[in-house]
Amino acid sequence: MTVTDAAAEQTADAVASALEVDHVESHLHPVSSFDLADHPMPTGREEIWRFTPLKRLAGALDDAPDDTDALTVETIGDASYVVGTLAPGQHPRGAALVPDDRASALASRHAPEAVHVRVPADTELDEPIGHRLTGAAGKRSHRHTVIEAGTHSRATYVLDHRGSGVHAGNVEVVVGDGADLTVVTLQDWDDDAVHVGTHEAVVGRDARYRHIAVTFGGSVVRTSSNVHYAGPGGDAELLGLYFADAGQHFEHRLFVDHNAPRTKSNVVYKGALQGERARTVWIGNVLIRKVAEGIETYEENRNLVLTDGCQADSVPNLEIETGEIEGAGHASATARFDDEQLFYLRSRGVSDEESRRLVLHGFFQDLIRKIGLPELEEKLTAAVEDELARNVAGKVL
């Protein structure tokens, strides 16, 4: 090596360090670690916990193993893609997810055998696969699921949560290059359930990842759905819909880490709130790193507040370290019913109550029709109709 080369290398190091290529000082990018000691019990003052009602978590953040028979697991669709289990550190477990909060660290620590779902390269599945988890009342469960979509595969994985209890769940997603994977997570828990979940995906080169979160039930449901990229050209779409009734706390936290050039992300979450102390929190974090030139990102959260006594928090955060991008934006709106919409419908003879139901139906349908999976769209439409029938019908709003 000549002196000139060494100098050039030093300069390159200096530039790299100045560019903070590897490390970003940002609250959007918390310290990740498998070690529970790095994730002490939160006090509620931490940025990532300040919205969560810690007292209502029913010990979800305690360091304790599963209760016996806490969770009943059924397989959805073709079970042959559930290929086995993975110990901590056994590849690909850990390839995408390193816990960045206590809930995730616990789910990892107390799930010695992660469920391994693998769709082989070039395989296209027409029918969804997945798991239905039913929690037992008063019992604690942990689960870690690894979903591996091989290169150029196409599949939909559904994780359906119902029942009761206290559940901490990690979903680790590795989307191979050119793959097209949709992960649907349904939170249709009983009214007393507590769920803390982390869904972390790494999206391969030119791959497409779609994450669809639907939260209708539970006492406290807090999910962190995160995405980063393994190469340029990845496209992530994160869709969510939720309907919080009296006393329910639904918290959806999202983090898209644009750590590769020419990647895309689109986040749309829509929710309705109704009843005393119905509470929703939406945190939409997007980080665009220096290296992430030519990326495109948009995030949107809309809340419809149906009654007095509800609270919707909506916090979009966009941190941009390069201006060399296609576009970055966000929108957040929390509102009551639009009087002009209701007037228009009522002027066509539709009753006040039916008009509200129709507007709400449309509010969610607007999102559901973006899903592009007819069977799931129908199922969600039916679920929304059911929710509307149960909650909006017969009540004076």
Partner 1 sequence: MSTLQITDLQVSVDTEDGPKEILKGVTLTIDSGETHAIMGPNGSGKSTLAYSIAGHPKYTITGGSVTLDGEDVLAMSVDERARAGLFLAMQYPVEVPGVSVANFLRTAKTAIDGEAPKLRTWVKDVNGALEKLNLDSSFSARSVNEGFSGGEKKRHEIAQLELLDPKVAILDETDSGLDIDALKVVSEGVNRFREREGKGVLLITHYTRILRYIQPDRVHVFVDGKVAESGGPELADKLEAEGYESYLGASV
DSSP labels for 311-324?
EEEEEEEEEES-S-
Mark the segment that binds partner 1 (CB under 8 A) among 55-63, 84-92, 193-201, 345-353. 345-353
Instruction: Give the binding range for partner 1 (CB under 8 A) out of 203-211, 217-225, 287-295, 355-363.
Output: 355-363
Residue 68, Cβ density class (10 Å: 0-12 exposed, 13-18 middle, ≥19 buried): exposed
**Between residues 32 and 365, which has the closer beta carbon with respect to partner 1?**
365
- How far is 363 from 302, CA to CA, in rounded Å? 9
| Residue 22 or 340 having the CB closest to partner 1 | 340
Exposure on the CB side of residue 101, measured as CA atoms within 13 A: 30
For the CA atoms of 44, 50, 53, 58, what is the dihedral angle to 10 degrees? -50
7-15, 22-30, 244-252, 354-362 -> range binding partner 1 (CB under 8 A): 354-362
Radius of gyration of the chain (CA): 22
> Is position 347 an interface residue for partner 1 (rule: CB under 8 A)?
yes
CB of 206 to partner 1, least distance (A): 31
Question: Which residues share a beta bridge with 284?
Answer: 254, 316
Q: Which amino acid is at 255?
A: F
**Quick one: which of 48, 98, 359, 397 contacts partner 1 (CB under 8 A)?**
359
Q: How many residues bind partner 1 (CB under 8 A)?
A: 26
Fill in the per-residue mask, 323 to 342: x = in contact with partner 1 (CB under 8 A), - = not in contact: ---------------xxxx-
CA distances for 131 relative to 157, 161, 177, 237, angstroms: 8, 9, 25, 22
**Please, what is the minimum distance in Å from the beta carbon of residue 362 to partner 1?**
3
Considering only residues 365, 373, 377, 397, which one is a binding residue for partner 1 as defined by CB under 8 A? 365
Q: How many CA atoms lie within 13 A of 241 on its CB side?
A: 19
Q: How far is the CB of 187 from partner 1 (least distance, A)?
A: 22
Decide: is 346 part of the binding site for partner 1 (CB under 8 A): yes
CB of 365 to partner 1, least distance (A): 4
SS (HEC) of 49-85: CCCCCHHHCCCCCCCCCCCCCCEEEEEECCHHHEEEE
364 binds partner 1 (CB under 8 A): yes
| Residue selected from 15, 73, 138, 343 as contacting partner 1 according to rule CB under 8 A | 343
- Nearest approach in angstroms of CB 370 to partner 1 is 10
Tell whether residue 47 is a contact of partner 1 (CB under 8 A). Answer: no
Type of residue numbered 371: I
User: Residue 266 pairs with which residues in a beta bridge?
Assistant: 237, 298
Nearer to partner 1, 129 or 367 (CB): 367
**Residue 199, helix vs strand vs coil:** strand
- 20 touching partner 1, by CB under 8 A: no
Query: In a 3-state reduction of DSSP, which class is residue 117?
Result: strand
**What residues line the site for partner 1 (CB under 8 A)?**
338-341, 343-352, 354-355, 358-359, 361-367, 369
